[in-house]
Structure 1
Amino acid sequence: MQPLLLLATLTVLVGVTLTVPAKEKRVHHQRDLSDHAHDDSDGYKYDHEAFLGKEEAKTFDQLSPEESKERLGKIVSRIDGDKDGFVSHVELHNWIKHRQRKYIEENVDKHWKEYDQNKDGKIAWEEYKNTTYGYYLGEEFDDVDDKTSYKSMLKRDERRFKVADRDGDLIATRQEFTAFLHPEDYDHMKDVIIQETMEDIDKNGDGKIGLEEYIGDMFTPDDGESEPDWVLTEKKHFTEIRDMNKDGFLDASEVAQWILPGEIDHADNEAKHLILETDTDKDEKISKKEILANWNMFVGSQATNYGEDLTRRHDEL
């Protein structure tokens, strides 16, 4: 069984008056550039989403190799800000950060109209609550099988909304609503991220996370299934790294160190990675020629998807 990705990016719950929101985790850790594993031996989907953004990466997946390379060439010209014919680490780093910011903006745009019911350019808590949970609010979720979970979700949404709402008027501006949807990008939202993480993993409600809870959140074996190597590695990380005071549990401060390691710059790491892999003349910058020679690392196409499918089928034989 594949690990359940705890570091998942928030999927906003868009509802209409007859729709109950899907039950899902809505915990934000520091956001990575992609939900895919960063393993070049298993394809370049992580690099594609990091370089293009998630939505644009899907578009490139539908293109022919020729179209994909042509569009990549135009992107390279945009990245080369000083027009010296090369893409430097700084230029590539800035581009990747730009694409990630654009993803957030597009995500907020996607849902804004759904929630701004009175079209006043703001989203009140009542608008969000009624759009997401509306039909069932008056029924106290009596029509839902697991109404306790939905009541808990509503309570958590309200708590997060109030933290994002800096002026306390229960009406979110665009920036406040962005903080609500993407709390990992805002310092004042860190405490609520930690609180939600603790609530999701601390199954027995004792205010701390044991090893069994830590592993159980990421991996639940099927009958007779042995633990994969990565589980053993995570157990070691829990004992040797996560549990800083060696009491056998993670408290809130230790969870904060785990999920909000501020020194990590994923965009910087990805820029270094792409340059290292494609800088054939080792001048610490990459030309358009070098990029296009490794085009499938930067962007996808129907051809790269086909190749990955063939590899996957071969591995399964």
Structure 2
Amino acid sequence: MQLLLLSLIVGVTFAVPPQEKRVHHQRDLSDHVHDDAHGYQYDHEAFLGKEEAKTFDQLTPEESQARLGKIVDRIDTDKDGFVSHAELHHWIKHRQRRYVEENVDKHWKEYDQNKDGKIAWTEYKNTTYGYYLDDEFSDIEDRESYKAMLTRDERRFKAADKDGDGIATKEEFTAFLHPEEFKYMQHIVVQETIEDIDKNGDGKINLEEYIGDMYTRENGVEEPDWVSTEKKHFSEFRDVNKDGFLDGNEVAQWVLPGDVDHADNEAKHLIHETDTNNDGRLSKSEIMDKLEEIKISTITDYGNLLLRGHDEL
């Protein structure tokens, strides 16, 4: 694969439909599909982090290479001139943690209205929904949908609020925003997944609903091969008890796949694709050689990681 280091700052291994994003990979490496046949945006975001991967397209190829070189130097913590699997694994996990922390910090400033270092449910509710639920604004067409969203948010907030005092600490607010990160919140992830896909309201997911969440048939358009594959996965793997439905336990097995270390898998994938001399590690020249083969539009999705100070890394 020649487009790869693009990958290095970003990716994973086989083609899956976009809706497989429902599978929660702990701290998500990327919202993009990990399908190298169609690009390396997943790899970019896994390597740099989601936010940083958005603005690198403003750089020239020369600036991109220079900044990438600085990133590689940061990853090479033992300063031996190579990026090992352990160093790359550590870096990707670091970027995952940074994404969650930055996301929580951004929302924390918005919702902690009284600046007391905590967020009460009333603060969150009023900030998020106050305008939309005000009876004075009867012209808002989506009032009922906002009410449904409010109910769902309140349920999630209460689940995250371990001591039940109606006030979220930083950790509890993190659990509210990123429930897939916390074991005690996994039932919420499962419940919300079922609610999203279960169109007939029977509390479980049938094959039609499962496929319908991923694919909408268009007249005259041939069904993609992956749809047939997903139908097979539903009957052979997802529907464990073979009753034709996915219940809560089966949905949990689908969207919360255990203790898989996706950062580790990504590190292995990137080394496999970039390690031209097969010594199990990456030199800066191997990384740069791959870069030279990548289109500018692809290279430059890296992000603005190095526009920040040293401490930000």
For the aligned pair, the TM-score class normalised by the smaller chain equals 0.7 to 0.9
**What is aligned with 1:155?**
151
Distance 1:209 1:262 in 2: 21
TM-score between the two structures when normalised by the length of structure 2: 0.84
Count of residue pairs the alignment pairs up: 286
Q: Deviations over 1:236-295 (max 9, x none)?
A: 110111000111110000000000011322111110011011111111111111112123
- The aligned counterpart of 1:115 is 111
Partners of 2:17 and 2:33 within 8 A in 1: no
Does residue 199 (structure 1) correspond to residue 205 (structure 2)? The answer is no
**Is it true that 1:5 corresponds to 2:1 in the alignment?**
no
Letter in 1 for 2:76: D
RMSD: 2.5
Match of 1:177 among 152, 169, 173: 173
The separation in 2 between residues aligned to 1:89 and 1:4, in whole angstroms, is 28
For the residue of structure 2 that corresponds to 1:7, the secondary structure is helix
Q: 1:270 aligns with which of 262, 266, 271?
A: 266
Distance 2:137 2:176 in 1: 24
Measure how far apart 1:225 and its partner are: 2.7
Q: Which residue identity lines up with residue 281 of structure 1 in the other structure?
A: N
CA contact (8 A) 1:242 1:250 kept: yes
**How far apart are residue 141 of structure 1 and its match?**
8.2
Q: CA deviation at 1:111?
A: 1.8
Q: Secondary structure at the residue paired with 2:37?
A: coil
CA contact (8 A) 2:203 2:247 kept: yes
The residue aligned with 2:34 is: 38
Provide the C-alpha distance between the structure 2 equivalents of 1:296 and 1:32, rounded to a whole number of angstroms: 28
Deviations 1:216-253 (A, max 9, x none): 11111233333211111111110111000111110000
Question: Higher RCO, 1 or 2 (CA under 8 Å, sep at least 6)?
Answer: 2
Partner of 2:285: 289
Aligned residue number for residue 252 of structure 2 = 256
Question: C-alpha offsets along residues 58-116 of structure 1, whole Å, 9 cap, x if unaligned?
Answer: 22222111111111111111111111211111110010011111111111122222111
Q: How does 1:70-149 map to 2 (within 5 A)?
A: 70-139=66-135, 142-149=138-145
TM-score, reference length from structure 1: 0.83
Stretches of 4+ aligned residues off by more than 6 angstroms:
none
Contact 1:60 1:300 in 2 (8 A): no
User: Secondary structure of 1:54's match?
Assistant: coil
Q: Say whether the 8 Å CA contact 2:58–2:300 is kept in structure 1.
A: no
Q: Percent identity?
A: 72
Structure 2 gaps of 5+ residues are 1-15, 302-313
Q: Distance in 2 between matches of 1:301 and 1:122?
A: 44
Q: Distance in 1 between matches of 2:259 and 2:160?
A: 23
Cα separation, partners in 2 of 1:141 and 1:152, compared to 1, 3 Å = farther
How far apart, CA to CA, are the structure 2 residues paired with 1:202 and 1:140? 33
Equivalent position of 2:59 in the other structure: 63
Instruction: Letter of the 2:161 partner, please give it.
Output: D
2:108 maps to a residue whose letter is: W
What 5-or-longer segments of structure 1 have no aligned partner?
Answer: 9-26, 307-317
- Structure 2 counterpart of 1:221, one-letter code: R
